[in-house]
Structure 1
Amino acid sequence: MDERIVNGDVGGQVRGVVVLMKKNVLGVNNVAASVVDRVDEFLGRKVALQLIGTAAHPDSAAESCRGKLGKKAYLEDWITKITPMTAAATYNVTFEWSKEMGYPGAFTITNFHHSEFYLKTLTLEDVPGHGRVHFICNSWVYHAECYKKDRIFFANQTYLPSQTPPPLRGYREEELENLRGTGTGKLEEWDRVYDYDIYNDLGDPDKGPEHERPILGGSTEYPYPRRGRTGRPLASSDPRTESRIPAYNSLSIYVPRDERFSHLKMSDFVAYALKSLFQFLVPVLKDLFDKTPDEFDSFEDVLRLYDGATEVSNVTMLEKIRQHIPLETIRELLRSDGEKTYNFPLPHVIKEDKDAWRSDEEFGREMLAGINPVIIQCLQEFPPTSKLNPELYGRQSSKISEEHIIHNLEGLTVAEAIRNNKLYILDHHDSLMPYLRRINTTAAKTYATRTILFLKEDGTLRPIAIELSLPHPEGDHYGAVSRVCTPAEDGVEGTIWLMAKAYVAVDDSGYHQLISHWLNTHASIEPFIIATNRQLSVLHPIHKLLQPHFRDTMNINALARQALICAGGFVEMTVFPGKYSLEMSSMVYKDWVFPEQALPGDLIKRGVAIKDSSCPHGVRLLIEDYPFAVDGLEIWGAIKTWVQDYCNLYYKSDEMVQEDPELQAWWTEIREKGHGDKKDEPWWPTMQSCEELIESCTTIIWVASALHAALNFGQYPYGGYLPNRPATSRRFIPDIGTPAYEEMKLNPEKAYLKTITPQMQGVLGISLVEILSRHSSDEIYLGQRDSPEWTADTEARKAFERFGDRLRETEQKFIDLNNDKRWRNRSGPVKMPYTLLYPSSEIGLTGRGIPNSISI
């Protein structure tokens, strides 16, 4: 070490260590890039770094002062360094620096090599007067010609705009301008631009009218959150619609470069997709040897997807499979996860009992602890009413009468049951009825449903009536034609009751996938990601708070637009609304309210909880044994305490919130651009107080982490078994006297399976939810960070450690609750403990774990 540094002198050298990954390490043996890099290095084209000090340049005016720039330094040993194949490599760099240049608050980096690299960190040791200084970068750096401005990175300090050292302010503002872009032109792979656009990329009108879809966002007819702009050319046949990229190039859809999946995440994603595709092909090819290739003939037939009966032993079938998938790929699919290559993993819902899913208790329990536990409401009036416009849709009030349910109320009258908060409803009527006539002209045949449930003394919910409704055959304005089904166990009435529950599951599956899951987590959170990167500097405390909860979301959303929710995509192929799927979610977005995305607000809105200041989270549940709500409130409370502790470090008063220009610009842009179709709503927080900031950030983190986890990672555990969670239905309840009715009497299982999703479509749906329910090997969970030095603020790190400790204690509390036999809804007849809100998880298909972000 230079003596001048040891003695605190003003001049000397500062040694730094850079951690990065070369493209040839991250990619598939990019030999060409590696050779070109070596040529570049010999020609003197190096990686140059330049420190920026907090001492103002003497020639700068006070209002535009810029930090002093140190001399350029270069990475050492680029050619001779032997880089590992699975990890980043470290490189030394030596800077000239002195005390008079101040604190090295930022640095620029220029890449003169042919290929890009992933820059992880820069660490300076023994900076005169400051000691160790750490920079967290986590960014791709391309050739210098790709950028109009130098790439700049800031030390892991945290500053409000007004507290930023003046010599760094200009750099801070300039970097935000770079991230906003110009709003024009096609965005390229290396770009880092965050900008907004409407959903005008779902259809493909150049392929013909059947591929056209409504444009979502930017209109009162089809309001929607905004997505990230790509700048692709418009379609030739419709100048309002963005052209699509070819399916074979789907993985290259634009998102800001640092929002793309990591190499490890992409490898896992592709491997899981190939594995599921292979599992999809096996039963499809096996159909060649089946007498009824389009149908499952019995529940036992469905079970063969999982229990080994489809293990490929037939030489002819294996040869047919190898015609579709090369042998090398088959070998690659033999992963070390312990699962058979040819079979789907056994879904949790049938692991302990193959038939318990049919019970009424399990049907009701899954509304409290299943895939979609966010819809059930307390029934406030009887019979249930509709909010649909009567001039357009006529009389839509429920036909369920007191006679239908009185004998299942444990001696109470309907009025007494309502007064005692004993009646609940799963209502899929109003959201479906406007679309039902059009949906039922396709292969799908389903009903709008209302399900009434009774809260029993043992805490379980029992379904006591299901109303199946269709549009009036003579026109919508004549109202609904409805049929009411009531519980039965035996004979044809028992089969009809099982089918009625299946129609409810179909409606709930579609609503879950399109609204609860896609709209209310994936789509609604993307504008917050864009606004955060456009308006909050990486130096801003709220950027540091929220950034981990945005990881991978723009990438998975872009892939969804390209392959899942687009015209003819996998979602349209596997859920009952088909081509009306996203249009229907737009109609529901009309009722989206940001404060109601907070868990307490959501529970109160649905009437399943009431405000009660004496309770730990300010609300009292009306269903005490409501696993999602019980566990969710614990997680919500932990998140809010962490956010409050963190925000209080930086905002000592409401005036500091009001006078923060970046924060105010961020919140204005979320309202006016990101959720622009909602900008005039009175319910938006005004962001004028610390309380509003804390509540808003808690809500964002809750939606991006715990809510998404609760809605996503149970998809395969519950929905991987098709009879329990069908996504489509294709015929109505048969009429008396028809052959289908006779079949329903003689072979109820076959009649049930001929009503719900057909075999090929069902297996495709199972393949999809298996991919979406897996944790990748690079997942980062709630209470964790990818770097222990994510901030230099000691108090912030201590608060985060307390957050992690609380989450570990909370997980143990959930385990104890699951072991307590008093709480019947936590495991139910299927003996499947509620684990979806356990904070931690292992890799793979676990049915537990809360990732920091919407990463799948």
Structure 2
Amino acid sequence: MPSYTVTVSTGSQWFAGTDDYIYITLVGTERCSDRTLLDKPLYNDFERGAVDSYGVSVGEDLGVVEMVRIEKKKYWVQDDWYCRYITVKTPAGDYLEFPCFRWLVGDKEVQLRDGRARLPQDDKTMQTRQHRYKELEWRRKEYRWSEWQPGFPMNIDAKRYSELPRDIQFDSEKGMDFILNYTKAIENLCVNQFMHMFQSSWGDLDDFERIFVRIKNTISEYVMKHWKEDFIFGYQFLNGVNPVIIRKCLELPEKFPVTHHMVAPCLERDLTLEEEIQAGNIYIADYEALEGISPNRTDPCTLQYLAAPICLLYRNAVNKIMPLAIQLGQTPGDDCPIYLPSDAKYDWLLAKIWVRSADFHIHQTVTHLLRTHLMSEVFGVAMYRQLPAVHPVYKLLIPHVRFTIAINTKAREQLICECGIFDKANGTGGGGHVQLIQKAMKTLTFRSMCFPDAIRARGVDSTEELPTYFYRDDGYKVWDAIKSFVSAVVNIYYSSDETVEADEEIQAFVKDVCSFGMQDFDYCEFPKSLKSREELVEYLTVAIFTGSAQHAAVNSGQYDWCSWIPNAPSTMRRPPPTQKGVADVQLIVDSLPDRGRSCWHLGAVWALSQYQDNELYLGMYPDEHFIEKPVKQAMESFRRELADIGSAITKRNEGKRLPFYYLSPDKIPNSVAL
């Protein structure tokens, strides 16, 4: 009687093993095997991390084994099981691989395709086509769209983390609870001693060092010592935590009437301001998105304030970006003066602090939350709804949406919800952050998600003009590496542009992103279909880059650049000044966050900047969804290219007081998971 050898791998995460009964049925092109209990007498099967082998006897030839059916039945109490993969050795000695990488919860049956990726048009039998259809039918019931706030990108339909499908929840050891993590951060940083003085001001600027006692970070300490300097203020527009705001100034906007006479003492090339603009030496940072946003009023005892400043920047003779002029509102006038480096020391310092506070709000809410977290969730939900596990694009994308839906659901439940942690420290809490995202959505287009397009649109693509824009330079390298890898995979499975057009599942995925995820907003310009391999490659590169490199670039440096409170105030407790000559140290201290909010802020940026235990970085794919040799070769090439990029970044950073390492591939997590 012919016998097949079945090998079953159980996951190594906590509670992955099971004591439940596990049955298997081999599904061949001719017939199916009998339903067989996988059990070894006197042996504890399916333990965490175990790889167990069993014999399955059959009476007649099954033909080609196309699928395996796994069933889990309760033994004593329901005991979830995480199955990594199953391999089948045929009587002829051939090995077949059946990737699983999912949880079996309750009395569950899962039917697995063999590991070869297939497009829908590749499936010729009714059995395989029906399998695809049923899998997607079930997934669309599990993964439903919902709108958390009007005008937002759509998200998973789950009000609480516990409602999520088990497959997209955190592994137990990687669970994220914002409240516990923030509390732990506050304790680790020894700032809990200040929490009882929640609304009291600090004594002076140096007093902020009292919550800086646990700093062991070169960049943070440098910021603490040099934050008042114009150089460090300007440098952050290039390589700080929000390096996406600066753009070339082609002409001065009417709302910002800076004259040559105002800034002449700062110009170094014997040119007028207009000539400097024409020469490409003037840049601008405009925070107009904050205009009209409601400041936090969740604490009636303390008023909080927002501003929508405009900052003019100058590339000086040694290629440093220096501030030239600052206006703290969008409407010029006697009550909205233009501040200059030649003004009184504290007038100028306070104006810069207001810009840094505005930058913090735009960074946290738009650059970080909207454009990485929420957008990655859109790609993830659409992927689960429209692409079966056998589809090559599913296999390609799934490592890059790992835990993203889970972390976002936790954020909606604990962090950015009404009375959540966000409200405790941030000037845009209490609903302002919702208004800001609704406003920012009107400028979120598909092309703005494409890294090279976004760089060119801001006019900052010249390495000669901005030779120290490391975010741009490293971003280009990582983008190109991802695109090259994606192109290799796409070309393995798609023989022509017509193959892309004929793939009804990939077309449904793209349409779901636009029509549901982005709610078909006219201004988003996301494609509803793809007509070529080139378009597919770019689309998938956007999805992967957004969830990996872009998130790392705007998340990992939060503690570096935002832990020194005066450099990134999360709120301001005095309104922006309406005239010059009124600022002094006391006004600055009274404007900055109080002790309690400073502590919450510091705990937040510390917690959000930590890498997770057992983090998976770009190019690491321990779950082998792909089994084909050409794809594995493409992965190896990808890893080699990433390693070369990392080595070049390490070499460039040697000896630098302000190293830029956020886009070093060995520090880029595969997905938005924190």
Answer yes or no: same fold by TM over 0.5. Answer: yes
Match of 1:105, SS state, is: strand
Match of 1:549 in 2: 400
Partner residue of 1:487 out of 334, 341, 362 = 341
Q: Is contact 2:194-2:595 (8 Å) kept?
A: no
Q: Is contact 1:103-1:130 (8 Å) kept?
A: no
Counterpart amino acid of residue 413 in structure 1: T
Q: Is contact 2:238-2:471 (8 Å) kept?
A: yes
Per-residue CA deviations over 1:10-53 (Å, capped at 9, x if unaligned) read: x51112222225998469xxxxxx8xx5xxx7xxxx22121222
Partner residue of 2:86 out of 114, 123, 144 = 123
- 2:662 paired with 1:836: yes
Partner residue of 2:556 out of 692, 705, 713 = 713
Q: Is contact 1:712-1:772 (8 Å) kept?
A: yes
Match of 2:26 in 1: 51
Question: Displacement, 1:680?
Answer: 7.4
Q: Is contact 1:572-1:581 (8 Å) kept?
A: no
Question: Displacement, 1:481?
Answer: 4.5
Match of 1:315 in 2: none
Counterpart amino acid of residue 461 in structure 2: A
Question: Displacement, 1:517?
Answer: 0.4
Match of 2:230 in 1: 360
Match of 2:501 in 1: 658
Question: Displacement, 1:551?
Answer: 0.2
Match of 1:414 in 2: 273
Match of 1:800 in 2: 635
Structure (1 or 2) with the larger CA radius of gyration: 1
Structure 2: distance between partners of 1:584 and 1:722:
22
Structure 2: distance between partners of 1:157 and 1:681:
35
Distance 1:347 1:762, change over 3 A: farther
Distance 1:644 1:736, change over 3 A: closer
Counterpart amino acid of residue 115 in structure 1: Q
- 2:620 paired with 1:784: yes
Counterpart amino acid of residue 714 in structure 1: G
Q: Is contact 1:644-1:694 (8 Å) kept?
A: yes
Per-residue CA deviations over 1:257-284 (Å, capped at 9, x if unaligned) read: 211001121179787444214347x544
Structure 1: distance between partners of 2:91 and 2:135:
27
Residues 69-80 of structure 1 correspond to what in structure 2 (within 5 A)?
69-77=32-40, 80=43
Residues 4-83 of structure 1 correspond to what in structure 2 (within 5 A)?
12-20=2-10, 25=15, 37=19, 46-53=21-28, 55-56=29-30, 68-77=31-40, 80-81=43-44
Match of 1:249 in 2: none
Match of 1:851 in 2: 669
Q: Is contact 2:247-2:459 (8 Å) kept?
A: yes
Partner residue of 2:110 out of 124, 146, 151 = 151
Counterpart amino acid of residue 450 in structure 1: I
Structure 1: distance between partners of 2:51 and 2:41:
10
Q: Is contact 2:176-2:407 (8 Å) kept?
A: no
- 2:223 paired with 1:262: no
Question: Displacement, 1:376?
Answer: 0.7
Match of 2:351 in 1: 500
Match of 1:375, SS state, is: coil
How many pairs does the alignment contain?
667
Q: Is contact 2:153-2:374 (8 Å) kept?
A: yes
Partner residue of 1:509 out of 360, 383, 386 = 360
Distance 1:520 1:682, change over 3 A: closer
Partner residue of 1:376 out of 235, 246, 251 = 246
Match of 2:292, SS state, is: helix
Residues 626-705 of structure 1 correspond to what in structure 2 (within 5 A)?
626-678=469-521, 682=525, 684=527, 686-705=529-548
- 2:399 paired with 1:539: no
Shifted more, 109-118 versus 408-417: the winner is 109-118
Return 5+ residue gaps in structure 1 as ranges.
1-10, 28-33, 57-67, 182-192, 200-214, 217-222, 233-244, 246-251, 308-343, 386-396, 473-478, 611-619, 821-826, 841-848
Residues 209-358 of structure 1 correspond to what in structure 2 (within 5 A)?
215-216=149-150, 223-230=151-158, 252-266=161-175, 272-279=181-188, 283-286=191-194, 294-307=200-213, 344-352=214-222, 354-358=224-228
Structure 1: distance between partners of 2:115 and 2:179:
34
Return 5+ residue gaps in structure 2 as ranges.
none
Match of 1:162 in 2: 121
Counterpart amino acid of residue 355 in structure 1: K
Distance 1:621 1:633, change over 3 A: farther
Q: Is contact 2:510-2:527 (8 Å) kept?
A: no
Per-residue CA deviations over 1:778-797 (Å, capped at 9, x if unaligned) read: 2111011023x331210111
Distance 1:272 1:435, change over 3 A: closer
- 2:329 paired with 1:469: yes
Structure 1: distance between partners of 2:402 and 2:580:
57
- 2:51 paired with 1:90: yes
Distance 1:82 1:541, change over 3 A: closer
Structure 1: distance between partners of 2:448 and 2:320:
26
Per-residue CA deviations over 1:90-131 (Å, capped at 9, x if unaligned) read: 333332358842333322222112323332333335323462
Question: Displacement, 1:347?
Answer: 4.3
Q: Is contact 1:349-1:718 (8 Å) kept?
A: yes
Match of 1:435, SS state, is: coil
Counterpart amino acid of residue 91 in structure 2: P
Per-residue CA deviations over 1:518-551 (Å, capped at 9, x if unaligned) read: 0111112212111111111111111111111000
Distance 1:607 1:107, change over 3 A: same
Structure 2: distance between partners of 1:270 and 1:153:
38
Partner residue of 1:762 out of 587, 598, 609 = 598
Distance 1:577 1:516, change over 3 A: same
Counterpart amino acid of residue 399 in structure 1: P
Counterpart amino acid of residue 607 in structure 1: G
Structure 2: distance between partners of 1:689 and 1:710:
30
Distance 1:681 1:710, change over 3 A: closer
Q: Is contact 1:225-1:677 (8 Å) kept?
A: no
- 2:96 paired with 1:133: yes
Question: Displacement, 1:663?
Answer: 1.1
Per-residue CA deviations over 1:494-531 (Å, capped at 9, x if unaligned) read: 11211111100110000000000001111122121111
Which of the pair has the greater relative contact order for Cα pairs under 8 Å at 6+ separation? Answer: 2
Distance 1:79 1:584, change over 3 A: farther
Structure 2: distance between partners of 1:176 and 1:480:
62
Match of 2:144 in 1: 195
Distance 1:735 1:810, change over 3 A: closer
What's the TM-score, normalizing by structure 1? 0.73
Percent of aligned positions that are identical: 26
Structure 1: distance between partners of 2:650 and 2:247:
27
Question: Displacement, 1:194?
Answer: 0.9
Q: Is contact 2:3-2:91 (8 Å) kept?
A: no
Q: Is contact 1:23-1:115 (8 Å) kept?
A: no
Q: Is contact 2:442-2:524 (8 Å) kept?
A: no
Distance 1:700 1:733, change over 3 A: closer
Match of 2:416 in 1: 565
Structure 2: distance between partners of 1:438 and 1:726:
14
Structure 2: distance between partners of 1:533 and 1:735:
52
Q: Is contact 2:220-2:559 (8 Å) kept?
A: no
Distance 1:718 1:644, change over 3 A: same
Match of 1:169, SS state, is: helix
Distance 1:796 1:480, change over 3 A: farther
Structure 1: distance between partners of 2:367 and 2:205:
29
Structure 2: distance between partners of 1:415 and 1:832:
32
Per-residue CA deviations over 1:218-269 (Å, capped at 9, x if unaligned) read: xxxxx22100012x6xxxxxxxxxxxx6xxxxxx442222110011211797
Structure 2: distance between partners of 1:819 and 1:462:
24
Structure 1: distance between partners of 2:106 and 2:246:
54
Q: Is contact 1:664-1:687 (8 Å) kept?
A: yes
Q: Is contact 1:295-1:759 (8 Å) kept?
A: yes
